[in-house]
Amino acid sequence: MPPLAYLDHNATSPLRPAALDAMVRVLRAGGNPSSVHRWGRTARASVDAARRQVAALVGAWPAEIVFTSGGTEANNVVLKGAGRPRVLVSAIEHDSVLRAVGSAETTIPVGRNGIVDLAALERLLATSSEPSLVSVMLANNETGVIQPVAEVVRLARTAGALVHCDAVQAAGKMPVDLHGLGVDYMSLSAHKLGGPMGVGALVIRSGAPFSGDRRGGGQESNRRAGTENVAGIAGFGVAAAEAGLSTGGLRDRLEAALLAIAPDARIHGAGAPRLCNTICISMPRVRAETQVMALDLAGVGVSAGAACSSGKVQRSAVLSAMGVDPGEAEAAIRISLGWNSTQQDIERLIAAWQELYIRVTHSDYSQARAA
């Protein structure tokens, strides 16, 4: 059996070998970055180096980076920590954004192509004079659709609102520039770009208001208490320095092959600018769970939407927000490529997908004949 084909990088991307090397070095060196002795200073130097690398990835200053335990923590603390009573979030945000604001949120709709509705945002901003925070992700985790964040910022600025951008899926897969976009806050996750799990960052533009909710030892310039995950942070730094996907060619070939096999399949967000690694596709009449199980048996790992919804298979809220009809949404799987994806991986997926499609259409045909 050829090696397994892991095509679920938007759930988590395997650790890059260079990141692992850096981590093992740091794990062996030990030391608490707050300690004054040389173990402490060595650990501090690792954290500082990674801070520069992560800052460079998103066009920020090192002092604007606050390391967290991941994207979820970053999203949670910023929505509370920005101190704005009114929070406007797009309908396709990650659960960690949607649930963090709870009932206080106002939802910005998205169009059928998966792009946030800017006219609606403008109207929503005009309906209230309460100080607001707008949270729009840079690229969606399920469809890969890239959002017009610079436009969002322009509208928000006019209304005096602050802007948070969840760039967890975008960073490393497209150029990201904090100051170019003009956002006030940005969330990042290491394990989505080949760094380790358990580490992420909240980028806080210099001058943007922020008060963290975790009390303690005053680490991260009093913005996030707790002993730093030094090895994780070092791994994040190296992964950030190496990030920069160019899987567009592979993705396009894969998409063309899938559509050639199943002309009635549909790619969600196809008309919009998308990340170069993501395909969200519905195979007509075949439930997503059936597809992922069949693909898993064939040694191909993909997912039926986001990984985090803890087991329960629900219809995708993202596709619902795009107005995809329920039957089609239930037949959607997400294929996401990454830094170690190969032609062989996509061939394996194509073969398995074709076999399933033929089996299903054949049984449809038999059923039709029997009826």
Q: Give the catalytic positions in this structure.
A: 308
Q: How far is the CB of 117 from another protein (least distance, A)?
A: 24
User: Which region, judged by CB under 8 A, interacts with another protein, from 107-115, 121-129, 139-147, 189-197?
Assistant: 189-197
> Is 233:201 a contact under the CB 8 Å cutoff?
no
Stretch of 27-35, 142-150, 241-249, 360-368 lying at the interface with another protein (CB under 8 A):
27-35
Backbone angles phi, psi at 292, to 5 degrees: -65, -35
Over its C-alpha atoms, the chain yields an Rg (Å, rounded) of 22
40 is an interface residue for another protein by CB under 8 A: yes
Q: Which of 6, 16, 3 is nearest to 303 (CA)?
A: 6
134 binds another protein (CB under 8 A): no
Q: How far is the CB of 169 from another protein (least distance, A)?
A: 13
- The answer for residues whose C-beta is within 8 angstroms of residue 315's C-beta and 6 or more apart is 326, 329, 330
User: Contact between 243 and another protein (CB under 8 A)?
Assistant: no
Neighbours of 365 (CB within 10 A): 10
Residues 244 to 273 in contact with another protein, rule: CB under 8 A = none
Instruction: Tell me: does residue 172 bind another protein (CB under 8 A).
Output: no
User: Which of 198, 209, 248, 284 is close enough to bind another protein by CB under 8 A?
Assistant: 198
With residues binned 3-state (H G I as helix, E B as strand, rest as coil), the percentages for the chain, rounded to 5, are: 45, 15, 40
Are the beta carbons of 233 and 191 closer than 8 angstroms? no
Is there binding between residue 228 and another protein (CB under 8 A)? yes
Binding piece for another protein, criterion CB under 8 A, among 105-113, 129-137, 169-177, 289-297: 289-297
Q: Give the span between the Cα atoms of 154 and 132, in whole angstroms.
A: 14
Structure token digits, residue 289? 């769970």
**Based on CB atoms, which residue is closest to another protein, 150 or 293?**
293
Using CA atoms in the order 207, 213, 216, 222, what is the torsion angle rounded to 10 degrees? 0
Is 217 among the residues that bind another protein (CB under 8 A)? yes
Distance CA 94, CA 147 (A): 14
Instruction: Tell me the closest approach of the beta carbon of residue 175 to another protein, in angstroms.
Output: 25
Which 64-83 residues touch another protein, going by CB under 8 A?
68-73, 75-76
Where in 6-25 is the site for another protein (CB under 8 A)? 6, 8, 11-12, 14-15, 20, 23-24
206 residue type, one letter: S
Q: Is 27 in the site for another protein (CB under 8 A)?
A: yes
Helices (H), 82-209: 95-101, 118-126, 149-158, 178-181
Instruction: Work out which of 131, 209, 226, 248 binds another protein, going by CB under 8 A.
Output: 226
48 binds another protein (CB under 8 A): no
Give the one residue of 240, 301, 337, 348 binding another protein; rule: CB under 8 A. 301
Output the CA–CA distances (angstroms, integers) from residue 284 to 6, 278, 333, 348, 356, in the order listed. Answer: 23, 19, 11, 20, 12
296 contacts another protein (rule: CB under 8 A): yes
317 near another protein (CB under 8 A) = no
What are the CA-CA distances from residue 338 to residues 7, 72, 153, 329, 361 (Å)?
7, 21, 29, 24, 31
Contacts 24+ apart (CB under 8 A), 259-265: 261/350, 261/353, 261/354, 261/357, 262/353, 262/357
Question: Is 313 a residue that touches another protein (CB under 8 A)?
Answer: yes
Determine which residue in the list 1, 37, 263, 368 makes contact with another protein, applying CB under 8 A: 37
Nearer to another protein, 66 or 230 (CB): 230
Q: Contact between 46 and another protein (CB under 8 A)?
A: no
Nearest distance in Å: CB 62, another protein: 19
Counting residues that bind another protein (by CB under 8 A) gives 75
